[in-house]
A and B are shown apart, each in its own frame.
Chain A
Amino acid sequence: MHAVGQSVARKEAPNKVTGRARYNGDVTPVGTLTAVIVPSPHAHAKLRQVDVEPARRMPGVVAVITGQDTDPMCGEVLEDRPPLARGTVRYHGEPVALVIAHGEAEARAAARRVTIDCVPLPLVATVEEAVAPGAPLVHPELGAYRRAQPPVVPKPRTNIADHAKIRRGDPTKGWAASAVAVSGHYTVPQVDHAAMETRSARVEILHDGRVIVQSTTQAPFEVQKLLAQSFHLQQGQVIVDVPLVGGAFGGKAAVQLEVLAYLASRAVNGRPVQLVNSREDDMATSPVGIGLVADVKLGATRDGLLQVAELSFLLDTGAYADSTPRVARAICSECTGPYRVEHVRCDVYTVYTNHTYATAFRGFGHFPLTFAIERTMDRLAATLDMDPAELRRKNLLGPGDRTPTRMMLTRSTLGNPQTCLDRAAALLAGPAAQPIGPHTVRARGLALFWKTSSSPPNAISGALVSFNQDGSVNLSTGTIEVGAGTKTTSAQILAEQLGIDVNQVHIHTHINTKVDPEHWKTVASMSTFMAGRAVMEAAEDAKAQLKSVAAIALKCAPGDLSVGQGRVFLTADPRIYVTFSDVAHGYSYPGGDAVGGQIMGRGSYIMRHLTLLDEDTGEGHPGPSFTVGAQGVEIDLDTRTWQYRVVRAVTVVDAGRAINPAGARAMLQGGMCMGIGLATREGVLYDRDGQRLNDQLRTYKVMRAGEQPDAYVVELVETPQIDAPFGARALGEHGLLAIPAAVAAAVSHAIGRPVDHLPITPESLWKLVRSAEAVQ
């Protein structure tokens, strides 16, 4: 009986097809008040006065609060953000006040009565403007902010919240050894997570000192710690409770509404208050994914061997830094792409603008990074007149090579990029571009990705396994079910280790920090690895306990016993056994007296040997392993209208081992679809005054049915990661990482000009071709 390697349906699936799956907004206790955010109407302004009196007098209103100097400053890395604006507003949609009322209708009606009197300040509209000399400052007080989670290197009196870098080798030598040099300038806009469930939080402050938080967070333990720290509570007083989450993609790892809901509850004597983002709030007020401007220079020998890479990235973190300095270091870690480059100079700046602030987005900076580096590889291939796949093949990293952070690679940590590339190239065989109709060109593009976790070196994860009397088991881990199937994967791992059917494993899907062991955050595709390791250890612990009780029953030593198929049996003679149920709650002798007790296994994992990146050189060990893969697309482009469609999308990824193959495939395909959306249409838009233009799903376009390719081709390579459960590598984010780069490559081939800016719309292509023609 095997559970690992089987495509078992997700545990909660029957509830999801009957409407019985419960999300945070589905259960509102009677008596819960509703808070709504009064957003800033300006992108950058001095607040003169916020008049809340008319709102206070509206029917049903209980309280209205605005930013106070006593409120804690927020920020995962750098504490630069007041939960409610104080003195200055820095983006359109920033929370200025909270109206707390008996119902949403009352709260919204009152929120419209709040008047915000302010004086506009000069706008910082782009990252380039932000770093130009004499630029207006988004944070004149930057130097005074507390650094909550170093490393972070702010540059006071500038708009640079952080500067992360890689200094490896000597670029001068690299250029001397290079016969060709290419460079490219790339832009990727901020993007929205657009999870179908908007963010929400509910807080009640009890009179015994406990704070009950119910939220859509991916990071309940982070919420717990931040609230405890900000409001001078013991961590155990803060209880964070998270049911199923309706999609997250990194956007629910940021802690925002939980703090606001706490302030709201505190303002009404601790009564329960809920704060539910409307779609518009979710897009304009809550954080988005970073945008980026990149300059990449590569030098190589005549036969295409990379010698040097010089890279500069300006990350558009918007008004606040949130986790962007961590994203910056993740970009540093993999800045060269999965290629061998001896001499590397990389600068990643976290840049403030008057845009919506940014947080983690699926891939943690790697889809824009991959876009920049892979576009430059294509330029190099064109300059050398070399097949793009061949150029990549020549430069692929292998065991024994070092990464930009000088981490030594092994087959286990790296996996097999070569096979991924070869398979993807074979699946996409054919001319780069060919006419297939009077006005239709079919073109192909290929790109590679790699990514590690860039998690804190002390990230932890735990698992608790308790046995029921009938021999079935309960499994509790601290991971959140955001749709990735992580709970089911953990159950499969436990079932496999105990040799029982996965139906005998009962999972705890609704996480509560009071009873569930901590899992750092459900991010970075790390659940299978970290929680999986904890589950394996908990299984071993439970097995040892099963054996010690069974040894009494079977009159032998624990070492004589094995566990499998729901039994503990004599290794030498499996006919002599007890079942799990015989010993799960103690073993009873025929006379009724008993020994042992409930079997309860525990497992705990902490990252091994990871280090933070050095501030000057970037040297360090950012993650336990890499996931590498190759992706490609085939597009059909109409040369009259510049409209195009992705007709085929290919992913070959080194999965290590797929614990749930159909689940892995579903995740990857979903990522590919999102990647096509990012390539073809997605991007946050602002007008000249910094006003958010697309804060709805009708204006911020995501993929809809019929826009997906005719075929998704997904192949899994399996090079085990030695220290991972069953060898399984991270997969959750990876389906999208190189798709935008591959689409850009294909479109570039189709129109015969490099396409370097996302999203690639027919209009942008028309402009590109027209301006190129005007120059000629």
Chain B
Amino acid sequence: MQNANTGRAEHLITVNGEQRRVSLRPADTLLYTLRDELGLTGAKPGCENGDCGACTVLVNDVPMKSCLLLTMEFVDQDPPRSVETVEGLDGAEVQRQFLQHWAFQCGYCTSGFLMLVEGLRRQRPEANRDELVDWLRSNICRCTSYAELIHAVEGVLERERGAAPASDHPTPVPPTR
């Protein structure tokens, strides 16, 4: 039911497998709804126009920039369109690999990259290095050198394919005096 003054109305949305009631304006983006209405602040605003990927979530297993999606497209759907955020990851391999490979510093881009890589794992576990790098290009990290992120993704995909995880992650070089 729409409130004539605010243009807001109540709807049902399913996020991380939980059904939630939200009050929406037709113009609300999914990023806004997740953060400001549902308290799921893992997805971050970095540009709100599709440039940075900090807001990436999974929609039916496909990574999408939630700043470019209207929440209206996700409500009252039967069957519900699945929206997954970083808060829905629980002990996933991608989280382990990011920790192991120092794939973040400030952490602000991290939720977005995690969801992007989780999407890659589900969609294209056989991706080679060129392809995985292509995927990573949709998001920006201003802190790391990208090598750490690439190592982490390789670790995830190798694990997914059943190979032993890569051991070529950066180990500190012994100092020379």
Q: Which residues of A contact B (CB under 8 A)?
A: 7, 9, 12-23, 25-28, 105, 194-198, 244-249, 278-279, 419, 423, 482-485, 655, 658, 661-667, 669-670, 672-674, 696-698, 702-708, 712, 714-719
Contact B142 A702 (CB under 8 A): yes
- CB contacts (< 8 Å) of B54 on chain A: these are 196
- B87 sits at the interface (CB 8 A): yes
Instruction: Return B145 CB to nearest CB of chain A, in Å.
Output: 4
Q: Which 10 A-B pairs have the closest CB atoms?
A: A19-B42, A246-B108, A483-B106, A661-B172, A16-B107, A705-B136, A19-B86, A483-B105, A669-B145, A697-B51
Closest Cβ neighbor of B110 among chain A residues:
A16
- CB contacts (< 8 Å) of A105 on chain B: these are 25, 27
- B78 sits at the interface (CB 8 A): no
Contact B47 A19 (CB under 8 A): no
Assuming the contacts A18-B86, A669-B147, asked whether A706 and B98 have C-beta atoms less than 8 A apart, the reply is no
Assuming the contacts A196-B140, A484-B105, A669-B144, asked whether A13 and B99 have C-beta atoms less than 8 A apart, the reply is yes
Closest Cβ neighbor of A193 among chain B residues:
B142
Assuming the contacts A246-B44, A719-B177, asked whether A197 and B106 have C-beta atoms less than 8 A apart, the reply is yes
Contact A20 B42 (CB under 8 A): yes
Quick one: which of A14, A195, A669, A704 contacts B106, CB cutoff 8 A? A195
Contact B172 A665 (CB under 8 A): yes
- CB contacts (< 8 Å) of B40 on chain A: these are 19
Residue-wise, chain B 146-177 has the 8 Å CB interface mask toward A (1 for contact) of 11111000000000000000000011110111
A13 to B148, CA, bound (A): 15
Assuming the contacts A196-B46, A247-B143, A483-B143, asked whether A12 and B107 have C-beta atoms less than 8 A apart, the reply is yes
Contact A705 B149 (CB under 8 A): yes
Q: Which secondary structure characterizes the binding site on chain B? A: loop
A669 to B173, CA, bound (A): 13
Query: Which of B44, B45, B142 has the most C-beta atoms of chain A within 10 angstroms of its own C-beta?
Result: B142
Contact B51 A673 (CB under 8 A): no
A197 to B48, CA, bound (A): 12
Instruction: Return A715 CB to nearest CB of chain B, in Å.
Output: 5
Instruction: Return B151 CB to nearest CB of chain A, in Å.
Output: 11
Contact A23 B108 (CB under 8 A): yes
A697 to B104, CA, bound (A): 20
Contact B48 A279 (CB under 8 A): yes
Assuming the contacts A662-B102, A712-B147, A718-B175, asked whether A17 and B142 have C-beta atoms less than 8 A apart, the reply is no
Contact A19 B87 (CB under 8 A): yes
- CB contacts (< 8 Å) of A14 on chain B: these are 99
Closest Cβ neighbor of B96 among chain A residues:
A17
- CB contacts (< 8 Å) of A485 on chain B: these are 105
Contact A246 B106 (CB under 8 A): yes
A245 to B106, CA, bound (A): 7
Task: Tell me the B23-79 residues at the A interface (CB within 8 Å).
Answer: 25, 27, 35-36, 40-49, 51-52, 54
Residue-wise, chain B 119-148 has the 8 Å CB interface mask toward A (1 for contact) of 000000000000001101101111111111
Quick one: which of A15, A244, A658 contacts B172, CB cutoff 8 A? A658
Contact B176 A423 (CB under 8 A): yes
Q: A17-B110, A22-B41 are in contact. List 15 more A-B contacts (CB 8 A).
A: A15-B107, A17-B86, A18-B87, A19-B41, A26-B41, A28-B36, A198-B46, A244-B107, A246-B44, A483-B105, A666-B105, A697-B46, A697-B140, A717-B177, A718-B176
- CB contacts (< 8 Å) of A703 on chain B: these are 146
A26 to B140, CA, bound (A): 20
A750 to B100, CA, bound (A): 38
Contact B142 A18 (CB under 8 A): no
Contact A672 B41 (CB under 8 A): no
Contact A25 B45 (CB under 8 A): yes
A26 to B41, CA, bound (A): 6
Instruction: Return B40 CB to nearest CB of chain A, in Å.
Output: 7
A278 to B52, CA, bound (A): 13
- CB contacts (< 8 Å) of B9 on chain A: these are none
A665 to B173, CA, bound (A): 9
Contact A708 B146 (CB under 8 A): yes
A20 to B89, CA, bound (A): 11
A697 to B46, CA, bound (A): 9
Contact A197 B46 (CB under 8 A): yes
Instruction: Return B177 CB to nearest CB of chain A, in Å.
Output: 6
Contact A670 B51 (CB under 8 A): no
Instruction: Return A283 CB to nearest CB of chain B, in Å.
Output: 10
A663 to B48, CA, bound (A): 31
- B114 sits at the interface (CB 8 A): yes
Instruction: Return A15 CB to nearest CB of chain B, in Å.
Output: 8
- CB contacts (< 8 Å) of B108 on chain A: these are 23, 195-197, 246-247, 483
- CB contacts (< 8 Å) of B105 on chain A: these are 247, 483-485, 666-667, 670
A22 to B106, CA, bound (A): 11
- CB contacts (< 8 Å) of A246 on chain B: these are 44, 106-109
- CB contacts (< 8 Å) of B111 on chain A: these are 19
Contact B141 A196 (CB under 8 A): yes
Contact A16 B104 (CB under 8 A): yes
A718 to B173, CA, bound (A): 12
Quick one: which of B35, B44, B95, B99 contacts A9, CB cutoff 8 A? B99
Contact B175 A19 (CB under 8 A): no
- CB contacts (< 8 Å) of A697 on chain B: these are 46-47, 51-52, 140
Assuming the contacts A485-B105, A718-B175, asked whether A705 and B137 have C-beta atoms less than 8 A apart, the reply is yes
Query: Which of A22, A663, A670 has the most C-beta atoms of chain B within 10 angstroms of its own C-beta?
Result: A670
A524 to B176, CA, bound (A): 25
- CB contacts (< 8 Å) of A664 on chain B: these are 172
Contact B176 A715 (CB under 8 A): yes
CB<8 Å pairs between A and B, sample of 18: A15-B107, A17-B110, A196-B44, A197-B46, A483-B108, A658-B175, A669-B147, A669-B170, A674-B142, A696-B47, A696-B49, A698-B51, A705-B149, A706-B133, A707-B146, A708-B146, A716-B176, A717-B176
